[in-house]
Amino acid sequence: MRAVVVSKFGSLDLIEVPTSEPGPGQVRIEVAAAAVNPVDVLTRDGVVPIDAEQLPVGLGWDVAGRVDAVGAGVEQFAVGDVVLGLEDQLVMELGPYADFVVLDAAAVAPAPRTVDAIAASTLPLNAVTAAQSLDLIDLAPGQTLLVTGAAGAVGGFVVELATARGLHVVALAGAGDEQAVRGWGARTFVPRSDDPAGAVRAIFPDGVDGVIDPAHLRESVLGAVRDGGAYVNLAPSLGPAPTERAIRRLDQFAHHDGALLAELGRLVDAGRLTLRVAQTFPLDEAPAALDLAGKDGVRGRVVIVP
């Protein structure tokens, strides 16, 4: 089978390897689509905690496809099942940028039925992250949540899931994204600027109850949060979440959760989560896919279709 790996930071290699076999508790998925996330670009570029001695590493976190083989002890999936999966390790021999990928069955869920594999592959990492961030911050219905990068992949899912939980979502995004984020449920829109905290305080003088920060605005947005509020850091590798004035400091690390992923797939089928695809590329054009995904202003995910 073919797989894309990083053998040297800064570039990708397409290699031929023996098709991986699933071990106990694992499934092998024939990859139909694998979304490109910022972490993949950062891995290629060596801007993640991976040592050069750990190379080569596989690439990709999100996969949609069909179960092709099951390991011993796997009862919840059978060959032919249409599934989604989330690979949540930075250092892995081979990842979803491949013809086949082996994952723990606990990281896999039935795919939503109403969308194709390309759209479905944009769900796992970012929707799971959005849901886990909301669990971490644990706000009550009616409380105010500021979402930075609200038009991005994580931010968009946070807006929709937080709205469904009854939170008052304050979306911080580019002016051109206002219609989209309001369409997902944001009640208040704040255009991005050099002073996001000041712009939020102009609307909420007492501050918001919490912020989830996919745009990594960190200290520059902390002033928007009320005393004793909460801040979710989505870039723990940049350092622990900043804090002041008894603001709860929360660091989010995405971890696979098949049951949660199944629930998120049902929300897609119910029309309550929006999937966005920017462009697809074949596996042998993975370098071009990552180049596009790494550009600012891309809306929707770039997806690799082996």
Ligand X SMILES: NC(=O)c1ccc[n+]([C@@H]2O[C@H](COP(=O)([O-])OP(=O)(O)OC[C@H]3O[C@@H](n4cnc5c(N)ncnc54)[C@H](OP(=O)(O)O)[C@@H]3O)[C@@H](O)[C@H]2O)c1
Tell whether residue 253 is a contact of ligand X (CB under 6 A). Answer: yes
Among 22, 38, 85, 207, binds ligand X (CB under 6 A): 38
Question: Hey, which residues does 225 pair with through a beta bridge?
Answer: 208
Tell whether residue 149 is a contact of ligand X (CB under 6 A). Answer: yes
Q: Which residue is nearest to ligand X (CB)?
A: 152
State how far the Cα of 229 lies from the Cα of 248, in Å rounded to an integer.
6
Nearer to ligand X, 152 or 207 (CB): 152
Nearer to ligand X, 66 or 276 (CB): 276
Q: Spell 132-145 as b/e; 16+ CB within 10 A means b.
A: bbbebbebeeebbb
Question: Hey, which residues does 249 pair with through a beta bridge?
Answer: 231
The separation between CA 273 and the C-alpha centre of its own chain, rounded to angstroms, equals 13
Size of the site for ligand X (CB under 6 A): 27
Nearer to ligand X, 20 or 126 (CB): 126
Tell whether residue 235 is a contact of ligand X (CB under 6 A). Answer: yes
Question: Hey, which residues does 84 pair with through a beta bridge?
Answer: 64, 109
Look at residue 5 and give its three-state secondary structure: strand
Look at residue 278 and give its three-state secondary structure: strand
Asked if residue 28 lies in contact with residue 64, where contact means CB atoms within 8 angstroms, the answer is: no
Reading the block at residue 153, the tokens are 């992949």
- Nearest approach in angstroms of CB 282 to ligand X is 22
Tell whether residue 173 is a contact of ligand X (CB under 6 A). Answer: yes
State how far the Cα of 145 lies from the Cα of 22, in Å rounded to an integer.
42
**Stretch near ligand X under the rule CB under 6 A, chosen from 21-29, 33-41, 49-57, 260-268:** 33-41
Tell whether residue 144 is a contact of ligand X (CB under 6 A). Answer: no
Tell whether residue 159 is a contact of ligand X (CB under 6 A). Answer: no
Tell whether residue 215 is a contact of ligand X (CB under 6 A). Answer: yes
**Of all helices (H) and strands (E), which one includes residue 136?**
helix 124-137
Among 103, 125, 208, 273, binds ligand X (CB under 6 A): 125
Among 98, 105, 154, 277, binds ligand X (CB under 6 A): 154
Binding residues (CB under 6 A) for ligand X: these are 37-39, 125-126, 129, 148-149, 151-155, 172-174, 192, 214-215, 217, 234-235, 252-254, 296-297
